Amino acid sequence: MNDSGINRNEIGVTASHICQHQPCICERSTRTNQFLQLLNRLTVASTATDYEEQVSATVATICADEILVSPLRLLWPNEFNEPKHTIDTIAQQYLKQASKSVQHLIPLSSLADGSCLFNSVVSLVPDSGVSAVELRVRTIIELVKNRTYYDNQFSNVVGPFNEAIRRTCNNYSFSELYEVVALGNALRCEVQSVYPYIDYRVEMNIMNAVYKPLDISALNNGRLIIFWTNSEDEVTTKRRSGSGGVWSPNHFVPLIRPCETPESPRRTTIKNNKVASIRSPEFSPPPNTRKHKTSFSLIEESLSNLETNDTRRKRQERSIENEQQREERLAADRLRKRSAKKNESEDQRQIRLAANRLSQRNARENESEGQRQIRLAANRLSQRNATENESEDQQQVRLAANRLSQRNARENESENQRRLRLSDQQKRSARKKL
């Protein structure tokens, strides 16, 4: 590749510079320009016929400068800071449809120019002196250095890894899960990917996960939380030409804890008119999947309004029926439900399962300790009966599913959870020996 040499005196910058003091405008501009020169070289390399080799060669040249590639560690803020942070009001609405474990967090506004993933870090730590360009370069280096890991982990769902590398080498190009995870490794911290439950499918679970850094010595560097959102509301997004009525993200924002003061932050903003795009993985939907799906928030809203006239009428009728009438009604209900399950479409099935999960979760939250023990005992009895009556094939499928579930749980568990699990295993082993 032409002109691949890098002047160390021209480019070399220590990462500790970021955390020690707030850089002046001149220093920040110089640092950004230095990394912009590197990104331009990577962009040129990505246009070559043998772009994979050229990009790898350019990355190797950059990494030869130990000062330039010294670890970058940012000090994450503990909570929302009104003078420095701005709330993204559109992302705030989408966050209501994400996991309840993150709905208390605040989405911060990030510049929607195509580099919104890297701008998310800049908006989170605006005084660090780090730029989106520098973060993009460091992410490219991380992707090239650990290519095998990213290719094996995500290519089957997200798409070809080599195409992702090629795109990332271009400034203002969209990002995807490859870059989200690689950014966390480049910053030597955990990264939590949060995706709203809109038009959600089981293969998208990798979009809602915590990814630990490959360097296990960096586990104490905090956690970066990235939220997949859109610069427009859900209805507008689904009506957009070419969307097929399916919602997809086109923007990233960071999530942060609210401040602990009694007064809530009130500084808000409206997204700029320029729509930045990120690559939404092109999942292959299962057969019979309809385009328009009901989001989980709508299910919760419908279930919360159960006290209708029809419900009250049915309750009155049941209060006066005899035992025979009750048995006939239950038998008819079972037959009707069985028939409905056979004829339901995939989206109807997903809505029914989501409603069942929500109903069960609400029931568990309100049950007493005695009711909890009865429920667990009934579950154990049901599982034991099912295990005793299953065929050899069903047993193999169940065991394989259990192993996969346990492996996924172990990959995402914290260090404390791991120690507790190992301690429980040791206790069980000791009891068996006795």
Domain borders along the chain are 74-269, 294-307+335-365
pLDDT at residue number 195: 96
Q: How far apart (Å, rounded) are the C-alpha atoms in residues 341 and 352?
A: 9
pLDDT at residue number 316: 66
**How many CA atoms within 13 Å lie on the side-chain side of 337?**
7
Q: Which helix (H) or strand (E) holds 190?
A: strand 190-194
pLDDT at residue number 112: 95
Angle, vertex CA 152, rays to CA 47 and CA 285, nearest 5: 90
pLDDT at residue number 406: 79
pLDDT at residue number 368: 81
- The closest of 294, 195, 306, 173 to 245, measured between CA atoms, is 294
pLDDT at residue number 236: 92
pLDDT at residue number 301: 46
| CATH tag, 74-269 | 3.90.70.80
Q: How far apart (Å, rounded) are the C-alpha atoms in residues 42 and 61?
A: 11
Sign of CA dihedral 36, 42, 45, 47: negative
pLDDT at residue number 291: 41
Distances (CA, A) of 133 to 17, 88, 138, 164, 391: 17, 22, 9, 17, 57
pLDDT at residue number 285: 43
pLDDT at residue number 292: 41
Characterize the bridge pairing of strands 190-194 and 209-211.
antiparallel
Number of H helices, E strands in the chain: 18, 7
pLDDT at residue number 254: 98
Asked whether the whole model's pTM tops 0.85, one would answer no
Residue 397, SS3 per DSSP: helix
- The closest of 126, 118, 129 to 19, measured between CA atoms, is 129
Q: Which residues of the chain have pLDDT under 70?
A: 1-28, 218-220, 261-317, 432-434
CB 268 within 8 A of CB 89: yes
- The closest of 52, 40, 51, 48 to 11, measured between CA atoms, is 40
pLDDT at residue number 414: 80
pLDDT at residue number 313: 60
**Tokens at residue 338, please?**
């069985």
Q: How far apart (Å, rounded) are the C-alpha atoms in residues 143 and 181?
A: 9
Q: How far apart (Å, rounded) are the C-alpha atoms in residues 190 and 213?
A: 6
Distances (CA, A) of 398 to 98, 349, 351, 376: 29, 21, 24, 20
Residue 257, SS3 per DSSP: coil
pLDDT at residue number 348: 74
CB 105 within 8 A of CB 258: yes
pLDDT at residue number 303: 41
- The closest of 127, 142, 13 to 74, measured between CA atoms, is 127
Q: Is 19 exposed, middle or buried (0-12, 13-18, 19+ CB in 10 A)?
A: middle
